[in-house]
Chains A and B, each alone.
Chain A
C-alpha cells in the first residue's frame, strides 16, 4: 500500500515536471533553442493565477480566471519573443541560453517585487477533496494534474505530427533558410511557439499551485524538468512526459529507501548517467543524414 501511495504521489509530481519539460521540448522542437526560464514562466503563471483568483488580490472566479491567466501568459510569451528573442534570430544557441537564464532572474525579481517572497496558496477548487484508489489516497489536484498532463501531451504530439502549423514549426527549426523558401513565416511561427509554451507553463503553474504553496524560487524545479526532458530525449513530446514520470517516481522512492542526503541527488545522477550512456535520451531525435 505504501508502494502504491509513493507511486501515485510520484506520478503527480512527475506530471508537473513533464509539463515543464513539454515547454522546453516545444521551444526546442520549433526554434532549436532551450528556454532556461521555463521554470520561471511556470512560477509566473502560478502567481498570475494567484493574483487573479485569491480573495485579497482580485478575487475573480476560478474558472473565469483560468482562460484569463492563460491569455495573459500567452501574450507575455509572444511579447518576449518579439521584443527580446527576435533580435537573436538565427544566432548561436548559447546566446539564447544566456538570454533566457537572465530572463529567469528578471522574472523572479518582478514576481518577488509584485507578490512578495512569502509562499502563497492558490484558492483553487482542486485543492479540496481526495479520491480513494484501492486503499491509496490521491488528492483531487494530483488527479487533475495527471489527467491534464496526459491529455495535453497527446494533443500537442498530434498537433506537431498532423497539423500544418505543427509541421511548419518543425520545419523552421530544422532549417530556417529552407523553411523561408517553403513560404513559412518563420519569425511568426516562433512567436506562436513561445506563446504556446508560455501557456503551457501557465497550465503547469496553475496545477502546481493547486498542489501546494508557491514561492518565487519555485521556478528552480525547472532544473528537474531539464532532467526529464533530457531523459526523454530533448525534442520528443511523449519522451518529455515519460522522462518527467521517471524523475517524479524515482524521487519519492529514493527519499524512502536511500539514506537522507542522497535522495535529492537521484534525479541529477540519472540525468548524468543518461547523458553519458544515451546522450540523446531514451527517445533519440538525432538521426544521421541520409545521403
Chain B
C-alpha cells in the first residue's frame, strides 16, 4: 500500500515528481514518482547520513552500475540514477504487481503452470545477469515482482561481478537465509557463482509451488544449517498429471536439479530455458494469463487505489514544497485523474508498496510496520505431515473466505491470512502456536490440526485469550477442561457415535446390534463404544458388545461369536485398518445387515484394505462433502474457480468458520478498528452463524459446539458417497 507524502518529503527528485511514499526503511525511502514524460517510476532515495559513509556510497554506486548492465524483459530497467548526489537516488521502472512473497503469503501457492512460467522467465533474467558477468546473490520471493505480463527480478544491491574478489570478509554470510545456496551459507566466497543463483531460484520456485521455503523457517542459523545438510522439503508439490504436450521435465525434477548441493550438478540458467522448461506458456507479444485470476484481481484492486492517490493527499496540496509544481497540486481534479488514466496500462497495473519494499532490501518490515495495520486471521494446521490434505483443505477454505471479505466494498479494513504449520505433531505445535500468538495482527486462529496438537497448545492460546476455532478437534477429553478461548466448531467424537445409534434405533425391526470396541484405537474406541452403547440403551436397544485387545489381528472368532449371538446390525468402534479386517470377516460370513462406524473409518485406508467388503458401510462424520450439498453450491463454485480443484474434506467447514469470525469481527468493529482478542472470544461463544455446512452455536462457558452437523457417508463403488445429514433423533 502506498501512503501520502509527508510534509518533509521533497516534491521532486532527479526530475521525478513524487506522488506518494511506497515504503520506508532505515536507510532511505522509496517514492512513487513520475518522470517528465509521464512514466511511473520507483525512486529509491538514500538518506544523507548514510550517503556520507564512503563504503555505503560505493556499494550504492555498484548497485546502480550492476542494475544498468542487465537488460532483460524480466529484470527492472534503471530509468535514472545519481549515486553522487547529496542524497543518492536510483529510479527504476515502476513495476505493477505484488512481490512473489506477498502473493504467496496472501493467496497461497501458485498453480504449477504459473510456477513453470515463472521459472522460465526468471531463468531468462538470470541468463542475462550471468552473461553480464554478474551474480545476483539474493534471488528470493521478495525480490521478484509479479506483473500481468511476467515477473521482474529486482534489487541488485548485493550483486557483484563473478571475477570480483570477495570484498566482504570471508566468513560473512550475505543474502537471505532460507534462499541461499549451501556455498553461500558456508560463506565460501570464491565458490559463490552463477550456480548459486540457480540454487536460490530452486528455493524460490519451491516456495511458489508449495507456499513454504524448502528449508523451512526459523532462525538464520537453523536455516543455514539445513541448507547445507538437509534435503529440501518438496512435499506438497504435486507431480504433474499432464506432461505430454509441454516437453521438458517435471517441475519436481527441475527443483531437485536446481537444489543439488554441489554447484557443479546444477543446470545453468541457459539450460533451464532451453532444455528443461521448453514450452509452452512463454508469453508471446506480452499478452498472457500466467497468473491466477485472484492475483490479477488484486493488482487491479491496487491500481484503483493508486488512482485515488491524489485525493488522499491534502497535506501535499498544502505543503509549501508542492507549490513549486503547482500543476500537481490539484487534488482530485478530473484533469489529474485523466492524466493518470492516460498513462495507460502501467497505471492500471500499478501496485502498492510491496514493490518498493522489495527495492529497499534490508528494510522489508512487512505491512504492519508501514502504517495501517494489516489485521490477520491465522491458520494453524498440518500442512506438511501425514494428514496435510486435511490441513491444506482448511487453509484453502479459510483463504477463500478472507479473499471474499477483502473484495467487499464495505470492508472496514483488509485482512490477510497467516498460516503456521504444526505438521500434526504435538512436538511442533507449541512453536506453531507461538508464532501466531505473538503476531499482534492476528485476531483469531483456525486450528490446530488434531487432538494431540490441541492438547499441546490449548493452554497457550488460553493464556493469550486468542480465539482458537477448530473444525478437526473432536475428542471428548479436550472438553473436560474448560478453556477460555477455544471454540469447537464440529460435532464431537461421542456425538458422531451417538448418531450411529440413533440411525440404528430408527430402523424398523432392529433387534440386536452388535458392537465391537477395538482397543487398538484406545481412547477413541472407548469413547465411541461408550457413546453408542449409551444411546442404544436409551432407545431400548442394548447391544451385544465385544471388546478386543489392541493389535488383535484375527478378528474372525469374535465376529463369529457375535453372529452366533444373533446380531442383526454391526457397529465398529475403532480405526480404519481394524474396520477393514472386520468388514472382511463379516463379508466372508455373508452378513449383510447395517454396518456402521464413526469418522476415523472415513479413510482411504479402509477402502483399500477392505476392498469389496467395504461396500455398504455407513460412516458418520463431522464434515460434509460440499460438492454434494446444495447449500454449499456457491462455495464449491468459488473454490473450483479459485483453486481449479474440488474442495476436499474440511475446506467448507474452514470457510464457514472463518466467515463466522468475520461476522463477529464486523459486528464489533468501530471505525476501522476491530475488537480485541478477548472481546472477540466472548462474541464468538455467544454467536450463531448459519454456514454452508451447518449452523454454528456454542456453549458460552466452554466453547463446546452445541449445533448438530453430523453427516453420513456410504461406501459405494469403492468410494465414500455423501448420504446427507444424519438424523439427530429417532
The answer to whether A and B interact is no
Residues of A within 8 A of B (CB): none
